[in-house]
Each structure stands twice: as C-alpha cells, then as structure tokens.
Amino acid sequence: MTPLVDALLLQSGYNAALVAIGAALLGFSTGATGTFLFLRKRALVSDATAHATLPGVGLAFICMVSLGGDGRNLIGLMLGSAVTATVGLMIVEWISRRTRLAEDAAIGAVLGSFFGLGVVLLTMIQTMSAGRQAGLEGFLLGATAGMLFQDAVVIAIGGVLAVFATWVLRRPMTLVAFDAEYAAAMGYDVRKIDLMMMGIVMVITVVGLKLVGLILIVAMLIIPPVAARFWTDRSNRLIWIAGFIGAVSGYLGAALSASAPAMPTGPLIVLTAATVFFFSLLFAPERGIAAAVVRQRRFQARVHRRQGLLALARQEPIREPFTLRLLSREGLIRPDGVPTETGRAKASKVARDERRWDIARKVHQDAGLTGRYDGLTPIEEIFTPDEIQDFDRQIGPPVAVGALYDGG
C-alpha cells in the first residue's frame, strides 16, 4: 500500500494515528462551534481570540519555570492562554460597548497589542537558561510531532464540551445571529449570549493551539461553516455538516502530513478544508457556481423557447440563431424554419396563455395574484381549471397557428 493509504487506514505508526484522530476530533469541534460565529458575522472575533492566547502561553511558561515545574506542560500552557484570551475578549467587548469605536477597530487593536506582547515574551523566553523552551514557537503554526495520548484526550474532552455547549445554546444563538433586536424583544440577553458564544470559541481555540497553532485555528473555525453553508439552509443541519467537513479536513490533512513527513500538519489541514470549500463553491447542488450556471442556461432556454413560440404564433420570422437551434433541437421547427405539428400546437398554447393572462388581469384586480406572471410560469400553476375555462369562454374558440406555413 502507498504511504497515503497507510496513513488513512491508521497504519503509519502510533503517533501518526494519534495525530489523525486528534485532528479529526478538533476539526469536528471547530467546524461545529464556528457555525454561529460565522452566522453572527463575527469571524474577526476568532482572530482576536487566537492572537490573544499567545501572551498567555509565554506567561504560563515563565510562571511554571519560576515555580520549578515543566515549562512545557500542556495543561498549564492552555490555562495561561485561556486567561489572556478571556482578557482580550473582555477588552474587545468593553471597547465596543463603552466607546464609539466599532467592534472591528477594537478587535484590530487587541489583536495587534496582544500578539506583539506574545512575541516579546517568546523572545525573552528564548534567552532563559531553564524550562525547555524549544518548540514553543509551534503554538504559532502548530506542532504535532510530539503529540502525546494525554494531548489527544485534552483535545477530545475540550472539543466535546464545546460542541455540547453549542448544541445546548443553539436556539438562542441562532435567534441572536439572525435578528439580535428580535431576540432582545423576546427577552434574551444578547450581550450574555454573545459572551457565551465567544467563550465557546475561546475554549476550542485554546484546545487547538497544540495541533494547528493560533494562526491557523482561525481558518478551522471559519472555513468549514462557510463550506457547509453551500449545502444547506437550516442552521441545525449546518452545525453537523460544518463539523463533518472539519473532521474530514483534519483527518485527511493529518494523513497527508503523515505520508509526506516533511510537510507540516496544521497548514495541510487548513488547505484540505480550503479544498472542500472551493469544491462546495463550485459544485454544491443549490448554491454552487455550476448549479447557478445550469439554472441560468435553463432560464435562458425557457425565455428563448417562449419568444420563439410567440414568433411562430404571430407568424414572424425568427432571426436569433440560439432560438432557432433550440426549437429545431426540440423538434418544434423543421430545418427550413417551418413549424412542425408539435411546434404549432405549442405556439397556439403560448399565444392563448397570453390572451388568458390579459383576461385574468381584467377579472382579478389583485396585483399579488396577477403580478406573479413572469411569462414563463404556466397559467395552470396559478389558476384553477374552472377559472381557466371562464377565461377561454371570454376569449372564444382557439385559432390554429400556421396558416402562413400551410403552403410551405
């Protein structure tokens, strides 16, 4: 078997299998929890949260070394990053609520300040003589080579808690995401719901630092929900589809990294998620570009078919090449442009429907009813057979189409 197949089947070694499972768990939790951040249009909050974790990593390392402990203890580093991430989120919330600055300006200020402080602390740590500081820079882009079983357990527990909280709070968060003013009128505390949403994002950001790093965790929170949005219109389904896309991206990215050891795991996971996004963008059945092109082509064909049949009914020449090809391909006209029996029948139907709609506008003064006519919707979908028969009595008997062509 090829190295990639071995990695996909978890046959590339204990560490590679551990990383693949951990990445899948993290991908599912980031995709699911990032859904409401995406729906709330607050993607930048995840960026600020991620960057605000870096000073916590540095401060936690310094504190643990000063107390004689292992400076690279994952639990301690995660707790430190959680503290500074919480502080960063609270500062963003305070600035946006108590000052005239917009939220994006507050996020930019916090993001830059906290990230700069984190880089300074990491630089200071590199000059320390104790604490095994090598590898801390992996929290920027992720470092999975030294991933342990307890690290995977931490990711699993944190991810499960974040997904569970997302599911429990899905209804108020959905309401706030789509209409915050209506949610407030219904008695929901929008500020608290926003804080809980950001808290869930903070938890999953801290959990994912070890695997994909603080820079790439932002992509894993946003890309899966954006890709999932192409496949559904329902928020409850969006959570699970986004989680599935995140899990698949994490698993495949880790497998690709294991099959090519020189390639970093975090960036490959994000690139895999980006590939799913572009596939969804192009080929999703309802919202994809390909589907939109097909709908446009079908609409164009319907317009040309109707115009061509009206021209046949009025015995007018058809000069549009696309219309001629379309009617000919459907067997409505002969190569010489003379309508077939089927073409004459359909042309008569189209012309009579036009007259029916003229009567309908006079009979029904309801613009909401007659205004639905777009020239393409069959009249049978709007009015009942009895109503159509009444229109026909006012119009008179049908007139055959094609007297001009009888000699041809």
pLDDT in tens, 63-86: 888 887 766 677 788 888 889 888
My answer on whether 214 and 99 are in the same domain is yes
Nearest to 36 by CA among 250, 316, 235: 235
My answer on whether 156 and 249 are in the same domain is yes
Task: For residues 74 and 70, give the distance between their C-alpha atoms in angstroms, rounded to a whole number.
Answer: 9
Task: For residues 377 and 299, give the distance between their C-alpha atoms in angstroms, rounded to a whole number.
Answer: 11
Per cent of the chain over pLDDT 70 is 88
Q: What is the pLDDT of residue 129?
A: 61
Nearest to 378 by CA among 341, 350, 347, 344: 350
More confident: 71 or 158: 158
Q: What is the pLDDT of residue 357?
A: 83
Which CATH number does the domain housing residue 198 bear? 1.10.3470.10
My answer on whether 250 and 375 are in the same domain is no
Which residues, in sequence order, are CB contacts of 31 under 8 Å at separation 6+?
220, 224, 225, 228, 242, 243, 244, 245, 246, 247
Per cent of the chain over pLDDT 90 is 15
Report yes or no on whether pTM surpasses 0.85.
Answer: no
Task: For residues 35 and 240, give the distance between their C-alpha atoms in angstroms, rounded to a whole number.
Answer: 9
My answer on whether 75 and 179 are in the same domain is yes
Token pair of 253 as six digits: 């990215």
Q: Is pLDDT above 80 for 148?
A: no
My answer on whether 262 and 297 are in the same domain is no
Q: What is the pLDDT of residue 289?
A: 94
Domain boundary pick from 282, 301, 323:
282
My answer on whether 316 and 187 are in the same domain is no
Q: Is pLDDT above 50 for 215?
A: yes
Q: What is the pLDDT of residue 217?
A: 83
Q: What is the pLDDT of residue 407?
A: 45
Token pair of 382 as six digits: 């709007």
Which residue range is the domain that position 308 belongs to? 291-405
Q: What is the pLDDT of residue 7?
A: 76
Task: For residues 43 and 222, give the distance between their C-alpha atoms in angstroms, rounded to a whole number.
Answer: 7
My answer on whether 380 and 249 are in the same domain is no
| CA end-to-end span of the chain | 70
What number is the average pLDDT over the span 314-318?
85
Under a CB-based contact definition with an 8 Å cutoff, are residues 242 and 36 in contact? no
My answer on whether 319 and 248 are in the same domain is no
My answer on whether 229 and 190 are in the same domain is yes
Domain count, the chain: 2
Task: For residues 136 and 204, give the distance between their C-alpha atoms in angstroms, rounded to a whole number.
Answer: 19
My answer on whether 51 and 168 are in the same domain is yes
Q: What is the pLDDT of residue 408?
A: 43
Task: For residues 265 and 262, give the distance between their C-alpha atoms in angstroms, rounded to a whole number.
Answer: 9
Token pair of 229 as six digits: 């949005």
